[in-house]
A = this chain, B = another copy of it.
Amino acid sequence: MPNRSPIGIFDSGLGGLTVFKEIRKILPGEDLIYFGDTARVPYGNKSKETIIKYSKEISGFLIRKGVKIIVIACNTSSSLAMDDLRREVKIPVFGVIEPGAKKAAAVSGGRTIAVIGTQATIKSTAYSRAILQEFKNRGLAFGKVIEKSCPLLVPIVEEGLGLGTGNGFGRDIAKRIVSYYLDPVKQENPYCLVLGCTHYPIIKDLIEGVVGKGMEIIDSGVEAALFIKNFLEKENMLKEGEVSGINQFFVSDDPGRFVELGGKFLNMNIENIGIISDFT
């Protein structure tokens, strides 16, 4: 029996909209509820305990909204809160780490893989562990995984420097910051690069410009969307029908900035937005 309940998606703020966009593209008929924790953003340099606490609060909110599955559209929260959420929550929970790691292991064939992300994601070593597990599952020789935190990339995306909205000088700065982080990674000659933060797809062209065309770039959000589609099909949980799905957005702070910058991320007007300032 098809399941007509919405899909719940959450992130610390705006970044998860890149995952939302991929899910919307691949599952046009599903109703989607997105929650951005804009009052407490960013999660990337916060502790595991704090991130678990925030993730549980948001999941509780989404469940009360009647969602059929929860997608953690945030690499930091996927790295640190996934196991706790899966233990606590009765509906299926998906993150972005596992799909990204599976894809990286598949394309690399055991060769060196590079992963970039926030401080908290990289410190968790969630990608290394997931990739090495996947190598093992596929019976491949253990490849090397290089993990590199890039704390300035989220702020430059949020400042619009990489979006081409900054002037030429701004874009040049954004490129230099990308080089600052990725030049040392390039020297290790990895076969592919995993964008382990949902903000990074926004500056994918800048990153490609720095690492060169030879290195395959893996967007964990794209892989997560595919993963979720397969799951819903297999479990017969798709909404089905020809009608386009509804988008609903919630944030924990004033929606002004979310609507403005998020609209640029999604290339659409963000409407139907609510504010949730208390999770209890």
Interface residues of A (CB under 8 A from B): 38-40, 45-50, 53, 151-152, 155-156, 158-159, 161, 169-170, 172-173, 176-177, 180, 252-254, 256-257, 277
Interface hub of A155, A156, A254 (most chain B Cβ within 10 A): A155
Residues B257 and A45 in contact, CB atoms below 8 Å apart: yes
Residues of chain B within 8 A (CB-CB) of A253 are: 46-47, 50
Cα–Cα, bound, A257→B176 (Å): 26
**From residue A279, how far is it (CB to closest CB) to chain B in Å?**
14
Query: Could you name 29 residue pairs across A and B whose Cβ atoms are closer than 8 Å?
Result: A38-B46, A39-B47, A39-B50, A40-B40, A45-B158, A45-B257, A46-B253, A46-B254, A47-B253, A47-B256, A48-B254, A50-B252, A50-B253, A50-B254, A50-B277, A151-B158, A151-B159, A152-B152, A152-B155, A152-B156, A152-B161, A155-B155, A169-B176, A169-B180, A170-B180, A172-B176, A173-B173, A173-B176, A173-B177
With CB as the reference atom, state the residue of chain B lying closest to A39: B50
Residues of chain B within 8 A (CB-CB) of A252 are: 50
Q: Contacts A170-B180, A173-B180, A177-B173 hold; do A49 and B152 have CB atoms under 8 A apart?
A: no
Residues of chain B within 8 A (CB-CB) of A277 are: 49-50, 53
Cα–Cα, bound, A63→B171 (Å): 46
Cα–Cα, bound, A40→B45 (Å): 10
Cα–Cα, bound, A47→B252 (Å): 10
Q: Contacts A40-B40, A170-B180, A176-B176 hold; do A49 and B254 have CB atoms under 8 A apart?
A: yes
**From residue A101, how far is it (CB to closest CB) to chain B in Å?**
26
Cα–Cα, bound, A156→B161 (Å): 14
Residues of chain B within 8 A (CB-CB) of A49 are: 254, 277
Interface hub of A46, A53, A169, A257 (most chain B Cβ within 10 A): A46
**From residue A156, how far is it (CB to closest CB) to chain B in Å?**
7
Residues of chain B within 8 A (CB-CB) of A152 are: 152, 155-156, 159, 161
Cα–Cα, bound, A257→B177 (Å): 22
Residues of chain B within 8 A (CB-CB) of A159 are: 151-152
Cα–Cα, bound, A230→B195 (Å): 53
Residues of chain B within 8 A (CB-CB) of A161 are: 152
Q: A39-B50, A50-B252, A152-B159 are in contact. List 11 more A-B contacts (CB 8 A).
A: A39-B47, A45-B257, A49-B254, A49-B277, A151-B155, A152-B155, A152-B156, A152-B161, A170-B180, A173-B176, A173-B177
With CB as the reference atom, state the residue of chain B lying closest to A169: B180
With CB as the reference atom, state the residue of chain B lying closest to A170: B180
